[in-house]
A and B are shown apart, each in its own frame.
Chain A
């Protein structure tokens, strides 16, 4: 393992034997047991990769592809059946919501428990204690038993511990979507800080957008094998292409399988201004128009979806968002389910600043969210007047 490698995974396989009873597992320890054929389930097959120090790696794949198993192996909670894994530095893991917690303990005690498990001394924890409590935002309840916490509070505390203990390696399993918008924004910021501080981060997520925006590299796992490994944009598009390719064949198979797969998603969100120049999307406030193209896929068996473009602040607060449902527009995907809508905002009334473009894909009633994307493009608005704020409102002065 070279000095720059932080995690090295070599020839790792993990298979689970499906035991009828726990005692069968015990018998397996003893050589005189006649080897009856057990059912084997191969969660991971010959996985090889290494992660350099300071790299941010995203793992994507369908449910059951082996993502969580891989992360658990790296955190050493599971042992590989064959192969070896070596890691360098302290690992802070958030594998499941509040997994290292004891519900009987108070929040404060749980902080000490979780950090002690990770091998931090009491002094180190005391130094970080205020930071952890403040970050979690549950100071009022910190001396109450964790079992009295709402699930949101529980997760926030767990997350706060995991990312504030100054780990060398941070492993996160689909936990980024925790808490309210405010908390998840804070979490992202903290993770970006860790990334800038040169920490190795490994996480898996179903939010492909997160993978693309956060990671330097992505790995696509499919049925226990590495299907692709490389630049996130390439890996993500290969992955989305594969889910798309499989869609038509699914029509013929049974209905249950369909729910496993992405039924509708946003492919691409693009923004143009009437004033196009050199790729950067700069717009003159009150003069140029802004056009947002949203490419989407919706399983043809589903009712026609509705689509909502949004304009946000960089921290994801929505400034405006309308939808085809609100405006009584019916979108028309082609027969294979793909489609594109385009919306134009003439003489954009936004004032100077950076804004994010995003989109939501809803069901036909505008209730269930299939997919969403934030900050797919950034527009830079400049203005000539000194008007203050985010947006120009039509106004009339009255002077008596």
Chain B
């Protein structure tokens, strides 16, 4: 039963259809179309860059403190954070808004979570692609360590799956989930090392930040792309472990409470 949650082979058509539909519907009818997937993060980056670099005159504590490096550091953080935020934002109403699929047809509800995670991943991949081009262009080098990038960022995927299962199921029973989630999303922007590296924090606080599961992913991604170094494999492995545990618990929770969905929707 839980196996179907992680290996939804028989439902791959459904997942693909929902994912493509989800991505396409975001840009349908717009003039720039899919270009928005690249443009939006760049425009947001420009705004943050203006606030933190120009207005607050922040510095990035590394040997390379150029403007472009500062921008790319923030951009990396934003890509990972958005992956988390976008999927979580859709979660509370995911089941509620698809009540038809709960009550009227036999539908593998767990696949909705996959579609959300995949369509958010699509945007992250678009962002990473832009980031890589900018980074390689500015550093004039193509470090071999980049091949470890899928492993480093990949640990976000089970984390998102698990969180979406967890929150979407909760959202069916507790309607306040929407408000709570949007609050968490906003707070997390500042509790994640998006606008700063972890090492500028006081030593006593640094371990606490690692309670945030996306903090190590952001740090390691920067390490790979911007420093051109191999990641710290023990941290990457820990991230994967935590993500998989979250995913497993999410799936178990979803499977446990889904029996009651039809009774309250």
A interface with B by C-beta (< 8 Å) = 16-17, 19, 22-23, 25-26, 28-29, 72, 75-79, 91, 93, 95-96, 99-102, 104-105, 109, 112-113, 116-119, 121-122
**How far is it, in angstroms, between the C-alpha of A19 and the C-alpha of B25 when the chains are bound?**
36
**How far is it, in angstroms, between the C-alpha of A102 and the C-alpha of B98 when the chains are bound?**
9
**How far is it, in angstroms, between the C-alpha of A86 and the C-alpha of B76 when the chains are bound?**
52
Contact between chains at A77 and B105 (CB < 8 Å): yes
List residues 166-181 of chain B with CB under 8 A from any CB of chain A. 172-175
Nearest 8 Cβ contacts at the A-B interface? A99-B104, A26-B173, A22-B264, A100-B105, A25-B260, A22-B173, A116-B14, A25-B264
If A17-B263, A28-B260, A117-B105 touch, whether A22 touches B174 (CB-CB below 8 Å) is yes
B199 within 8 A of A: no
* Residue picked from A28, A96, A105, A116, most chain B C-beta under 10 Å: A116
The chain A residue sitting closest to B11, CB to CB, is: A116
Give the chain A neighbours of B103 by CB distance below 8 A: 72, 77-78, 99
* Residue picked from B104, B106, B257, most chain A C-beta under 10 Å: B104
Contact between chains at A95 and B104 (CB < 8 Å): yes
Contact between chains at A26 and B14 (CB < 8 Å): no
Of B102, B104, B172, which one neighbours A22 at CB under 8 angstroms? B172
Contact between chains at B17 and A112 (CB < 8 Å): yes
Contact between chains at B263 and A93 (CB < 8 Å): no
B194 to chain A, nearest CB (A): 32
Give the chain A neighbours of B100 by CB distance below 8 A: 99-101
Contact between chains at B13 and A121 (CB < 8 Å): yes
Contact between chains at A104 and B25 (CB < 8 Å): yes
Contact between chains at A109 and B21 (CB < 8 Å): yes
Contact between chains at B174 and A26 (CB < 8 Å): yes
**How far is it, in angstroms, between the C-alpha of A118 and the C-alpha of B108 when the chains are bound?**
10
Contact between chains at B260 and A95 (CB < 8 Å): no
Main DSSP-derived SS at the A contact region = loop
In this complex, the interface size class of chain B, counting residues with CB under 8 Å from chain A, is 20 to 34
List residues 89-132 of chain B with CB under 8 A from any CB of chain A. 100-107
Type the 1/0 row for B236-261, where 1 means its CB is closer than 8 Å to any CB of A: 00000000000000000000110110
Known contacts A101-B100, A116-B14, A122-B13; 4 additional CB pairs below 8 A are A77-B106, A109-B21, A116-B17, A118-B106
A-B contact pairs, 15 of them (CB 8 A): A19-B263, A22-B264, A23-B173, A26-B174, A75-B105, A77-B104, A78-B103, A79-B259, A93-B106, A95-B105, A99-B100, A99-B103, A104-B21, A113-B17, A117-B101
**How far is it, in angstroms, between the C-alpha of A3 and the C-alpha of B44 when the chains are bound?**
63
**How far is it, in angstroms, between the C-alpha of A19 and the C-alpha of B107 when the chains are bound?**
24
* Residue picked from B257, B259, B260, most chain A C-beta under 10 Å: B260
**How far is it, in angstroms, between the C-alpha of A76 and the C-alpha of B173 when the chains are bound?**
21
Give the chain A neighbours of B262 by CB distance below 8 A: 77-79
Contact between chains at B260 and A29 (CB < 8 Å): yes
B10 within 8 A of A: yes
The chain B residue sitting closest to A78, CB to CB, is: B262
Give the chain B neighbours of A122 by CB distance below 8 A: 13
B114 to chain A, nearest CB (A): 14
B262 to chain A, nearest CB (A): 6
Contact between chains at B260 and A100 (CB < 8 Å): no
The chain A residue sitting closest to B22, CB to CB, is: A104
Give the chain A neighbours of B172 by CB distance below 8 A: 22
Give the chain B neighbours of A116 by CB distance below 8 A: 11, 13-14, 17
Of B14, B102, B104, B260, which one neighbours A96 at CB under 8 angstroms? B104
If A25-B263, A116-B17 touch, whether A99 touches B257 (CB-CB below 8 Å) is no
A127 to chain B, nearest CB (A): 15
A154 to chain B, nearest CB (A): 13
Contact between chains at B17 and A93 (CB < 8 Å): no
**How far is it, in angstroms, between the C-alpha of A116 and the C-alpha of B13 when the chains are bound?**
7
**How far is it, in angstroms, between the C-alpha of A84 and the C-alpha of B181 when the chains are bound?**
39
If A93-B105, A117-B105 touch, whether A25 touches B17 (CB-CB below 8 Å) is no
The chain B residue sitting closest to A105, CB to CB, is: B21
**How far is it, in angstroms, between the C-alpha of A95 and the C-alpha of B175 when the chains are bound?**
27
